[in-house]
Structure 1
């Protein structure tokens, strides 16, 4: 087999790379005139099936008998024979950075098989790197099951508590993985501080576009947000964060009435940063604002005694600065939160665990 080179065997998986001297696809390059056109096609199995099948054949993962759509996100994601996940990166939505970031992470995870994260099986580009977009892709292992969001209302509360306590030590391990040699994840504060400053600059406009908060609360944002220098403790060590651990990214099975977690997925938004930022998607998007679950997580993580006096203000500032609209769904589902007449009151209702 001349088109591929074996890089290393990792447990029962083999990591491959494409021989860049050849092996590119002789098929039409995906092309979209607008983001709207891309949105109509990016989860279209019929459109992407030839590319997915060609990727599987290239890396000796064929035959691909059953291809199903993965969870909608920003990039085309497909599950092949319930064994492999093929993710193809568009140049839209930061595809170049995201592909490089995930490639490094899933390679790192392969060194720690005890962690329930996907690991890298293969990677490459559909077309040669040049002036046109080359459509990079990765193939990773499947975390079996269904995301907990599909069953959240059916999951018993005791199982939700167990999940919160399970995620504490798991995220502690993620946050403290060694980052030696990972250029995309240098353990320095510069990138995270710059990211927060950009979010601070666009914060009010973002919330005006999202329309989750009433105008009266949006008008309070500038006066409420803590300065970035207060949010980031640069005397501490920056950590590896998932950054989007919501109900869509926790996988498992609902079996005999009980939830069994199998792992977590989708590290496309991972970055180096302050651990409190990790809580936003977790508390709002997974725990649905349940403070008992948040407290259980913090205790199992070991952070409960380290919560500072400004925790509520810090957490709410990070919520407002979050990259995506996390407040819309929870405000819609929780009338008591909608009754808040100030950001300080909303912060108390959402984050005060005392």
Structure 2
């Protein structure tokens, strides 16, 4: 890291490794983050660079990093980006008041709706293969969920549950990353507010509802009123058809792990059906 900073002419006083995330990231002087991409991760470098540099962020209500320098050192691509101030939502969620959590649900629904209005015609490198990706997910969906420890009687339902799923023709920029690990919070007038978003390396083009899963499953469905507030702010009216669609997308999601989501609420063996589980996950109560 020292050699990279010096050979790439990046001024610094101190630097330290950032603990979280799938990539190697360093904090440089509390002003910048330097994100490294291994040679086999060059696709992620290309995607995140394009999203950060080609997006009109003036229409979005939060801060995102700005790339100030990029290059390659010893086979590793990197970019130096501005540090977005704030605390990760994962670190302070349990400290938030009920009112602050409602505010997060509302603001995140609004943010995702703004992101989904972005002009995707500017992107040249992002994957636009949602149809073929869904087809591949369908082929492997039973094997994937069997590996998570899902109850056998639910595994038996999985293939039939997703069989009727056809990809939507509606396409937007998806991050798939609206989780508490990528959302930044700051105090505004004494209240914690959603103010920043980081990590765009997994962006792709696809169906809007896919992006709604992370916030609901990681943060909202376990507490009353949050999912309803989130969906209302996004602009989605929940009904049986949309609940089915969300559940199908959840089963097809590349990181789906239903036992983890239900951990602490009930044993998966107690869940009678995938339909009943969808009512638990996607509720307005």
TM-score (norm: length of structure 2) = 0.89
Does residue 214 of the first structure (1) align with residue 151 of the second (2)? yes
Does residue 102 of the first structure (1) align with residue 48 of the second (2)? yes
Query: Which of 56, 65, 68 is the equivalent residue of 1:118?
Result: 65
- Which residue number corresponds to residue 84 of structure 1? 32
Contact 1:118 1:141 in 2 (8 A): yes
Matches within 5 A, 1:100-249: 100-109=46-55, 112=58, 115-127=62-74, 134-185=75-126, 191-211=129-149, 213-229=150-166, 232-234=167-169, 236=170, 238-249=171-182
Question: Post-superposition shift, 1:253?
Answer: 3.7
CA RMSD after TM alignment: 2.5
2:201 counterpart SS class: coil
Q: In the comparison of the two structures, how many residue pairs are matched?
A: 284
Question: Post-superposition shift, 1:111?
Answer: 5.5
Query: 1-side partners of 2:69 and 2:269: how far apart?
Result: 46
Query: 1-side partners of 2:121 and 2:241: how far apart?
Result: 33
The 1:352–1:256 alpha-carbon spacing in structure 2 relative to 1, beyond 3 Å, is closer
The 1:108–1:175 alpha-carbon spacing in structure 2 relative to 1, beyond 3 Å, is same
Query: 2-side partners of 1:88 and 1:54: how far apart?
Result: 14
Query: 2-side partners of 1:168 and 1:280: how far apart?
Result: 11
Between 160-169 and 286-295, report the one with greater CA deviation: 286-295
Deviations 1:293-314 (A, max 9, x none): 121122222223xx45411111
Does residue 282 of the first structure (1) align with residue 215 of the second (2)? yes
Contact 1:109 1:118 in 2 (8 A): no
Contact 2:120 2:172 in 1 (8 A): no
Contact 2:15 2:26 in 1 (8 A): no
TM-score (norm: length of structure 1) = 0.73
- Which residue number corresponds to residue 333 of structure 1? 264
* Stretches of structure 1 lacking an aligned partner (at least 5 in a row): 1-49, 128-133
Query: 2-side partners of 1:111 and 1:279: how far apart?
Result: 20
Contact 2:145 2:257 in 1 (8 A): no
Contact 1:110 1:120 in 2 (8 A): no
* Stretches of structure 2 lacking an aligned partner (at least 5 in a row): none
Query: 2-side partners of 1:337 and 1:142: how far apart?
Result: 41
Rg larger for: 1
The 1:58–1:114 alpha-carbon spacing in structure 2 relative to 1, beyond 3 Å, is farther
Between 1 and 2, higher relative CO (CA 8 Å, sep ≥ 6) is seen in 2
